[in-house]
Structure 1
Amino acid sequence: MSFHADPRFDAVGSVRATPETLAGLDEWRGLDPQQQPTYQDAAELETALAELRSVPPLIFAGEADLLRSRIADAAAGRAFILTGGDCAETFADAEADKIRRRIQTVLQMAAVLTYGGSVPVVKMGRMAGQFAKPRSSDTETREGTTLPSYRGDIVNDHAFTPEGRRHDPNRLLQAYHISASTLNLIRAFTQGGFADLRRVHDWNQGFLGSNPNYHRYEQIAREIDRALKFMAACGADFDAINSVEFFAAHEALLLEYESALTRIDSRTGNPYAVSGHFLWIGERTRDVGGAHVDFLSRVHNPIGVKLGPTTTKDEVLRLVDKLDPERTPGRLSFITRMGAGQIREKLPTLLAEVGAELPQVAWVCDPMHGNTITSGNGFKTRRFEDVVEEVSGFFDAHAEAGTIPGGLHVELTGDDVTEVLGGGAEIDEEGLRRRYETLVDPRLNHDQSLEMAFQVAELLTKATRA
């Protein structure tokens, strides 16, 4: 389906917000917001924000509502969420070919999960807005020189120079425009026939045919192709598989950006953050009394919260009361990031305490962030085996608690990078030197992403049969 042609969506989608209509949305300013840039020129910042307040929305309220209904299906076990994309998008990598390869990778993973698990897959990309990253330190020191830390292209540049590391409010505008062009490409690829399931073989084009999972994927593609030919012979109508729904997600870290891109839905009068369909709050900023939770409690997008291994029952229930007081199915997702060494101890206990009380919440596994290590030769990396172990522990914890494993949230790229150790390609520490390209966190490459999809499909099959 095409969002823009769907009569359920307002042709405009939102109206420009005014101080009166946004009453209460600025309460976050008095709550000591964490992980925010430090802009030196207040007038320069206000000029950028004024322009952001006047630009068209990147997404429409009706699209966010549709995603909420899809997430509700995942919470109930009728679907499975797949979120994938860069740890931190960069302005330089907003190229058509790189975006296409990321979309291809997610589509291939979704095909494997759908075929293996026999459930619809809700596809989301960490794309068109994932430009900011929280940092553990405000500064970085190299050879005696101390400069502000790199906080993502929306804030400053990775180049270690005083000018590059300056917090530049004009980057907010640049992020908006690159997000708009990225969304335009996403919609073109997913609505224009590229994502047609009858082209399932074509999604392998441009990738290395020698990778260990290529033939496994091609086998599934042939089986899907054979099933589609059978359906065609039976007179099936294939309009429904000509395109796919693909939603944009990012961490709502920079509150000035999110606030400036908040609009009032012309259908309902409710505020929506129009920077992306799905926004999440990170582990560092999920304080229930903090600025990020307060802001996202006031917009009507579906939202997520990252939960680490120290999360308590009380914290979860207070977050639900604040963010989802009406217990609306699909409104809230909890994205667990416990680490392979702790998930089998921590998550079953948490689910036993709160799972039965929260049937409307979608539980999603982020197996990346709790498994970051430093290699012997100094690279920030992860072990593929640890990532898979956390996913396995996630499914086992839900089986033990009688709750529903609702999705997977991973950092990946469609490029042939070497940033995560192990996997079928057996990347070792020296192998990291070949193509280590990330500026922040290590990502699964295309082959590792497919390998993960096959393993998750097996877990999903067991879960759906249970």
Structure 2
Amino acid sequence: MDLLDSWRDLPAAQQPDWPDPARLRDVAGQLSKLPPLVFAGECDQLKAHLAAVARGEAFVLQGGDCAETFSGATADDVRNKLKTLLQMAVVLTYAGSVPVVKIGRMAGQFAKPRSKPLEVRDGVELPAYRGDMVNGFDFTPEARVPDPERLLRAYHAAAVTLNLTRAFTQGGYADLRQVHAWNHDFVAESPAGQRYERLAGEIDRALAFMHACGADPEEFHRVEVYSSHEALLLDYERALTRIDSRSGLPYDVSAHFLWIGERTRQLDGAHVDFMRRIRNPIGVKLGPTTTAEDALALIDRLDPDREPGRLTFVTRMGAGRIRDNLPTLVEKVTASGAQVAWICDPMHGNTFEAESGYKTRRFDDVVDEVAGFFEVHRALGTHPGGVHIEFTGDDVTECVGGGHDIVEDDLHQRYETACDPRLNRGQALDLAFMVAEMYRIGK
């Protein structure tokens, strides 16, 4: 057996119960013949950037939708997400005085793990919605049947998203001289937008000074934004794995950066086995039950050569547990000599159900978990390498708190997520300013 297929003999968590295995094999065969969505050389570039993060020389901003939808692969939706990511990155770069590696949760985040395989409404039991890559959101028996054809639709939606992303980031939209234009629809009614506008004015003056000095770096006119998603559906990821013609090594060309989720990081499981064999930079989500022994075993399995930039740990502990649970992990991993990048996901450990039944998160809890992440790393003399955020460019009401002080009674107004609650644009910018301040103070 090809080693890239050895995962098929191991337990694979969170895989759909496909009703027609023959059709799944046919779709996987079609995917295996389609062009790559990203290139191995781009993955290597990102790995080099993440090596700089592991050395303490840069900071990661990773963010985007909780669960992308096929209907969201439009110019407006992609631009709005990119606009928010770029604004957050500008805040972190300028106010935090740190190079920022920009990674979108986009162009592939179409599948989601679920805590329960079934959903019950009014006594009716149906399979859970697992993302547009698997089944439909509508609560009907027809929509909830896993359909392998959706894997092909996911590929094409990802291709559209990446094409738009490259056009926006390389075609002038991401020019630093556009920092005001990104904000025109936002500044008047938003405290975060007004604060951003003041920062944009400072950037304008800095750019004018550099131009007067004869400096006009290429980096001011375009940016690199890398794609990422959770490598959840292994049939899709395997079908999009290619052998790099330069090196003869396998790369999963569905995204630049892939991660293993908290629910699928079993050492003897299929996800770890598959991911150890591809050469992309990869991440692992570490929840509050993770032990130092777990972390060290994952390093041995996924990064045996201790390659800088290869492995990123994304911690998702919850605001109430990060200060207690994270120090031992960081101490033991650092003592082992492994060069991993540490990123904080302050979203997934802070979800709760409001009285209205909506899943939500408190903005203050998100901020507090990031603060705890910084406190632990500063106390240990290690580098807080980045944040992993679920946000949207739209004015949704899914998380409570922030500059507009959304309360639980507001959640129904624009609760639009396909899965978990996201920060809206104002909350995302608020968070960026706070993270920049934490980073600057700790330097």
Q: 2:410 — aligned with what?
A: 431
**In structure 2, which of residues 215, 222, 245 is the aligned counterpart of residue 266 of structure 1?**
245
Q: 1:166 — aligned with what?
A: 145
Q: CA deviation at 1:439?
A: 1.6
1:134-213 paired onto structure 2 within 5 Å? 134-207=113-186, 209-213=188-192
Q: CA deviation at 1:384?
A: 0.2
Q: 2:77 — aligned with what?
A: 98
**In structure 2, which of residues 11, 23, 28 is the aligned counterpart of residue 49 of structure 1?**
28
Q: CA deviation at 1:215?
A: 1.3
Q: 1:14 — aligned with what?
A: none
8 Å contact 1:356–1:403 — kept in the other structure? no
Q: 2:197 — aligned with what?
A: 218
Give SS of 2:385's match. Answer: strand
2:79 matched to 1:66?
no
CA distance in 2, matches of 1:356, 1:195: 40
**In structure 1, which of residues 406, 417, 420 is the aligned counterpart of residue 396 of structure 2?**
417
CA distance in 1, matches of 2:157, 2:72: 10
CA distance in 1, matches of 2:260, 2:245: 26
Equivalent AA in structure 2 for residue 245 of structure 1: E
Q: 1:407 — aligned with what?
A: 386
CA distance in 2, matches of 1:428, 1:78: 38
TM-score with structure 2 length normalisation?
A: 0.99
Q: 1:115 — aligned with what?
A: 94
8 Å contact 2:187–2:194 — kept in the other structure? no
Equivalent AA in structure 2 for residue 124 of structure 1: I
- Deviations 1:35-58, CA, capped at 9 Å, x for gaps: 001111122212211110100000
**In structure 2, which of residues 350, 360, 371 is the aligned counterpart of residue 371 of structure 1?**
350
CA distance in 2, matches of 1:109, 1:214: 11
Following superposition, which runs of at least 4 residues in structure 1 exceed 3 angstroms of deviation?
A: none
Q: CA deviation at 1:207?
A: 2.8
Equivalent AA in structure 1 for residue 75 of structure 2: A
Give SS of 1:29's match. Answer: helix
Q: 2:430 — aligned with what?
A: 451
8 Å contact 2:110–2:133 — kept in the other structure? yes
CA distance in 2, matches of 1:194, 1:359: 38
8 Å contact 2:345–2:387 — kept in the other structure? yes
CA distance in 1, matches of 2:349, 2:285: 11
Equivalent AA in structure 2 for residue 88 of structure 1: A
Give SS of 2:4's match. Answer: coil
Q: CA deviation at 1:358?
A: 4.2
Give SS of 1:403's match. Answer: coil
- Deviations 1:34-86, CA, capped at 9 Å, x for gaps: 10011111222122111101000000000000000001111111110000100
Question: Could you list the runs of 5+ residues in structure 1 that have no partner in the other structure?
Answer: 1-18
**In structure 2, which of residues 251, 268, 277 is the aligned counterpart of residue 289 of structure 1?**
268
2:436 matched to 1:460?
no
Equivalent AA in structure 2 for residue 171 of structure 1: R
Give SS of 2:140's match. Answer: coil
Worse-superposed segment, 38-47 or 219-228: 38-47
CA distance in 2, matches of 1:119, 1:362: 15
Give SS of 1:48's match. Answer: helix
Equivalent AA in structure 2 for residue 382 of structure 1: R
Question: Could you list the runs of 5+ residues in structure 2 that have no partner in the other structure?
Answer: none
**In structure 2, which of residues 58, 67, 73 is the aligned counterpart of residue 88 of structure 1?**
67
Give SS of 1:39's match. Answer: coil
Equivalent AA in structure 2 for residue 135 of structure 1: R
8 Å contact 2:276–2:302 — kept in the other structure? yes
Identical positions, percent = 61
Q: CA deviation at 1:208?
A: 5.4
CA distance in 1, matches of 2:147, 2:186: 37
Q: CA deviation at 1:359?
A: 4.9
1:15-30 paired onto structure 2 within 5 Å? 23-30=2-9
CA distance in 1, matches of 2:153, 2:293: 40
Worse-superposed segment, 389-398 or 234-243: 234-243
8 Å contact 1:420–1:443 — kept in the other structure? yes
Equivalent AA in structure 2 for residue 189 of structure 1: F
2:321 matched to 1:333?
no
8 Å contact 2:252–2:280 — kept in the other structure? yes
8 Å contact 2:299–2:338 — kept in the other structure? no
**In structure 2, which of residues 222, 231, 239 is the aligned counterpart of residue 243 of structure 1?**
222
**In structure 2, which of residues 251, 264, 286 is the aligned counterpart of residue 307 of structure 1?**
286
Q: CA RMSD in A?
A: 1.0
8 Å contact 2:346–2:388 — kept in the other structure? yes
CA distance in 1, matches of 2:420, 2:11: 27
Worse-superposed segment, 195-204 or 389-398: 195-204
Q: CA deviation at 1:138?
A: 1.0
Equivalent AA in structure 2 for residue 181 of structure 1: V
- Deviations 1:171-196, CA, capped at 9 Å, x for gaps: 00000000000000000000101001
Q: 1:324 — aligned with what?
A: 303
| Corresponding residue pairs, total | 443
